[in-house]
Amino acid sequence: MLAQRRDSLHDRAHINKGKIMHPQRTPRFSFDFHGSSLDTIFDDYQTMHNQCPVSWSEHYGGFWTLTRMEDIRVAEHDWDTFSVAPSMILPSFGTDRPLIPLDIDPPELTGYRQILLPFFTPKRMDALLPRTHEIANDLLDDVANQDVFDASVYSRMVPAMVFGEYCGFPMQDAAQFDQWVEDIVFARTDDETIARAAAADVYDYFRDLIAQRRRDPGEDVISALLQADNRGQKLTDDEMLDICYLLFVAGLETTAGTIRVALWHLAQEPEALAALVADPSRIPKATEEFLRALSPVQAMARTLKVDTTIGGVAMKAGERVVLAFGAANRDPEVFECPHDIQLDRSSNPHIAFGAGAHRCLGSNLARREVNVALQEFIARYPKFELAEPTTWHGVGRLAIRPIL
């Protein structure tokens, strides 16, 4: 496969949307981490770990891919070399505006994190647990007694409702949010114009919502952020908008993807499902393994501020570098049998939530949402299977048939 990919790269190496590429960049591997490329991504990781742990890909204007845990940790902690500007998201989420705090380097990052962290402490997130159980149960009631139902709705709506209510996103617009997330996160690699149109709508929506909360504050995150103090200054409307946009795209789809992939796996592994049903206290450990082995955030980008060498490969200032978290999470130097999904894995130092200054702010929330969603689902359906074949990734239907 490597040889074939190298050939195809050789043919296309010089032209990408009219831009001169970097034919001299080597080693090369035509790595992609979106769309149908996810079908074979775990095979790609294996090949790259064995043959070219640091390599050049021609996709999205060209980037270096780091696949080893050690290299990615170095890049995560060295923001003077590996900047998050202009954006960690490759290709963009339909916008050229920075996502705050994701696309901001230290030291400016620190102020934003200080403002946001109090909203995501374990204690604050524990307080959301009763409502999370209630929402999960209500959603399961909606599909009760159906022979086959689409569990992707459950996967998406648990985090959308829990986080949406907490942030103060009007939940009567949930169906619209769902469509925007799909257009921004998933459609962008096929047709950037869809993502750009959706992003413009989301910014308009939040502009109005922020103005409304300024006039009439509530008990929600948006209202509280409007009062927050960033080194003696209130957040501007633009900063508020860029924070809301990130919370919107980061808070909904990632957790939805994790619930979905866990149900997808359990539907095909009756023994693993039976073990969790028999002892639900094993769910949190299983969640960590789903995050490690099948994380919905497979990779994020940095841009080199200066020339550097990593993994023995020389790179130039201005080049993009993709940190393949999904590959690090299957690094054979770190994990035994990395390609096996072991729900009771004892040592699991994965980086599904990143690792450095930008480590995910929502991990306390995400873990709780996934745990509760799984707990309620398997309590209601101790046996179930896939009613239609489905890939591990994706946004479409996840048809589940309960076994009575």
Residues of this chain that interact with ligand HEM (CB under 6 A) are 76, 88, 101-102, 113, 163, 246-247, 250-251, 254-255, 258, 295-297, 300, 325, 352-356, 358-362, 365-366
Tell which residue, 269, 263, 287, has the closest CA to residue 363: 287
Q: Which is nearer to ligand HEM, 1 or 117 (CB)?
A: 117
The least CB distance from residue 106 to ligand HEM, in Å, is 10
| Euclidean distance between CA atoms 29 and 31, whole angstroms | 6
| Euclidean distance between CA atoms 164 and 54, whole angstroms | 39
Q: Which is nearer to ligand HEM, 189 or 255 (CB)?
A: 255
The least CB distance from residue 72 to ligand HEM, in Å, is 9
Tell me if 69 sits within 8 A of 351, measured CB to CB. Answer: yes
| Euclidean distance between CA atoms 243 and 15, whole angstroms | 36
The least CB distance from residue 278 to ligand HEM, in Å, is 25
The least CB distance from residue 155 to ligand HEM, in Å, is 11
Using left for φ > 0, alpha for ψ between -120 and 50, and beta otherwise, residue 89 falls in beta
**How far is the CA of 151 from the CAs of 148, 308, 385, 396, in angstroms?**
9, 46, 11, 10
Q: Which is nearer to ligand HEM, 22 or 97 (CB)?
A: 97
Could you give the angle at the alpha carbon of 265 between the alpha carbons of 38 and 336, nearest 5°? Answer: 75
Which residues is 16 bridged to in the sheet?
A: 19
Cβ atoms within 10 Å of 161's Cβ, excluding its own: 22
**DSSP state letter for 323:** E
Which residues is 128 bridged to in the sheet?
A: none
Tell me if 390 sits within 8 A of 398, measured CB to CB. Answer: yes
The least CB distance from residue 25 to ligand HEM, in Å, is 24
Report helix, strand or coil for 330: coil
The least CB distance from residue 104 to ligand HEM, in Å, is 7
| Euclidean distance between CA atoms 162 and 251, whole angstroms | 10
The least CB distance from residue 10 to ligand HEM, in Å, is 32
Q: Which is nearer to ligand HEM, 21 or 74 (CB)?
A: 74
**DSSP state letter for 28:** B
Tell which residue, 304, 305, 371, has the closest CA to residue 63: 304
The least CB distance from residue 38 to ligand HEM, in Å, is 15
DSSP character string of 221-255: HHHHHHH-EETTEEPPHHHHHHHHHHHHHHHHHHH
The least CB distance from residue 365 to ligand HEM, in Å, is 5
What letter represents residue 151's amino acid? A
Q: Which is nearer to ligand HEM, 13 or 225 (CB)?
A: 225
Burial zone of 55 (CB within 10 Å; 0-12 exposed, 13-18 middle, 19+ buried): buried
Q: Which is nearer to ligand HEM, 325 or 384 (CB)?
A: 325
Q: Which is nearer to ligand HEM, 57 or 371 (CB)?
A: 371
Q: Which is nearer to ligand HEM, 187 or 352 (CB)?
A: 352
Q: Which is nearer to ligand HEM, 58 or 178 (CB)?
A: 178
| Euclidean distance between CA atoms 168 and 225, whole angstroms | 11
The least CB distance from residue 73 to ligand HEM, in Å, is 10
Q: Which is nearer to ligand HEM, 338 or 356 (CB)?
A: 356
